[in-house]
């Protein structure tokens, strides 16, 4: 059972840590649209509830796959910089805790963002960490 969770977590990491497309690569570190008052869902298929990211001013919240989370965010559209801090969450135990841990770790490590149409990508420098689709 433990190996199954580790495998799922590794698959999520590998799927979301892909190489950048040339279109995205040219946009990292450049001016981006504002993320204020936007809602996003993780683009990758994961077991259980799909993680989400809601940005409201300087606050973020959403679901990490099991637990609800919250924190602060500094988003600078002029430079495409993104940072999440003071992250906290509810503490329910679920089957996909490794997916949730990996998701929270990657949100906390992100320092850049790129918006392309209805897609949000979070990066650590030039490494793609997470990809989201705009939520309705």
Q: For the whole model, what pTM was predicted?
A: 0.80
Structure token digits, residue 81: 């910089």
Which domain CATH number covers 32?
Answer: 2.40.128.270
Q: How many domains does the chain have?
A: 1
Question: 47-94: per-residue pLDDT in tens?
Answer: 888 999 999 999 999 999 999 999 999 999 999 999 999 999 999 988
Give the domain extent around 116. Answer: 2-134
């Amino acid at each position: 059972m433990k190996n199954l969770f580790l495998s799922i977590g590794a698959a999520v990491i590998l799927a979301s840590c892909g190489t950048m497309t040339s279109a995205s690569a040219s946009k990292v570190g450049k001016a981006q649209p504002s993320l204020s008052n936007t809602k996003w869902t993780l683009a990758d298929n994961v077991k259980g509830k799909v993680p989400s990211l809601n940005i409201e001013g300087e606050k973020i919240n959403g679901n990490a796959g099991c637990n609800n989370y919250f924190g602060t965010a500094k988003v600078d559209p002029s430079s495409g910089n993104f940072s999440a801090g003071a992250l906290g969450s509810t503490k329910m135990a679920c089957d996909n805790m490794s997916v949730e841990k990996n998701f929270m770790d990657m949100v906390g490590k992100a320092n850049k963002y790129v918006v392309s149409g209805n897609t949000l990508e979070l990066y650590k420098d030039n490494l793609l960490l997470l990809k989201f689709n705009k939520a309705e």
